[in-house]
């Protein structure tokens, strides 16, 4: 009787041990497989150069600033189309140099100081200086850009509306830039805008962006 009981106990113990070992090994192989797979994926990423790209995207260096904490922004296609279709302000968006743009009035000390600074420091080698007086800018902005006659069909009407919309985007862009000062880089289709209309800040920016 005792032998039979011990035999049964041994069987139960063996089953329990088998289940335990199987579960352990299963978990082990799952972990091992996951670690192996992860290692292979990481190795593959490293080998393909994707890791470098990901690191660059996550790295603060990717979000580079060209001057202090200023980051260049792209000029929208609508703004460029507005200039191209209307033929206005092409000297700002089609230029062999960076362009300095802002708006001024007759008694504007900012204008006289910046103009003098550019001249004294021979910055005409780096920039085309294109400020506009408020009167000149407003006269150009108020030009006729809508339909001069009733459009013949829906397609023609849409084209007229699109041109008018692009021209509005163009004038809004320049009005905003004119409040302080923008340095526009036509080769890159990018611009930077001075944060406040301050002579010293403007001079520093002009020096800092000479080779941008």
At residue 212, the pLDDT reads: 92
Average pLDDT score over residue span 142-171: 76
Report pLDDT digits (tens) over 115-138.
999 999 999 999 999 999 999 999
When comparing pLDDT for 55 and 100, which is higher? Answer: 100
Q: How is the chain classified by DSSP, letter by letter?
A: -HHHHHHHHHHHHHHHHHHHHHHHHHHHHHHHHHHHHHHHHHHHHHHHTHHHHHHHHHSGGGS--SBTTB--EEPPHHHHHHHHHHT-SHHHHS-SSEEEE-EE-TT-HHHHHHHHHHHHTTGGGTEEE--EEHHHHHHHHTS--S-SS--SSHHHHHHHHHHHHHHHHHHHHHHHHHHS-EEEETTTTEEEE-SS--HHHHHHHHHHTTT-
Report pLDDT digits (tens) over 3-28.
444 444 444 444 444 443 444 334 43
At residue 160, the pLDDT reads: 79
Report pLDDT digits (tens) over 24-66.
334 433 343 433 333 443 343 333 332 332 233 333 444 556 7
pTM of the entire structure? 0.66
């Amino acid at each position: 009787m005792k032998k039979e009981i011990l035999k049964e106990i041994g069987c139960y113990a063996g089953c329990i041990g088998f289940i335990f070992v199987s579960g352990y090994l299963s978990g082990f192989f799952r972990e091992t497989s996951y670690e192996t797979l992860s290692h292979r994926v990481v190795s593959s990423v490293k080998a393909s150069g994707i890791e470098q790209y990901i690191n660059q995207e996550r790295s603060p260096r990717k979000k580079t600033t060209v001057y202090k904490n200023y980051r260049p922004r792209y000029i929208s296609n609508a703004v460029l189309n507005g200039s191209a279709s209307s033929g206005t302000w092409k000297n700002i968006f089609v230029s062999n140099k960076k362009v300095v743009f802002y708006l001024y009035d007759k008694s504007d000390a900012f204008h006289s100081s910046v103009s003098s600074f550019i001249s004294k420091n021979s910055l005409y080698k780096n920039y085309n200086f294109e400020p506009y007086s408020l009167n000149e800018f407003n006269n150009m902005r108020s030009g006729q850009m809508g339909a001069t006659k009733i459009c013949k069909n829906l397609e023609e009407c849409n084209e007229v509306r699109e041109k008018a919309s692009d021209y509005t985007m163009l004038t809004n862009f320049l009005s905003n830039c004119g409040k302080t000062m923008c340095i526009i880089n036509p080769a890159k289709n990018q611009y930077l805008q001075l944060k406040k209309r301050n002579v010293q800040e403007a001079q520093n920016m002009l020096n800092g962006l000479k080779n941008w």
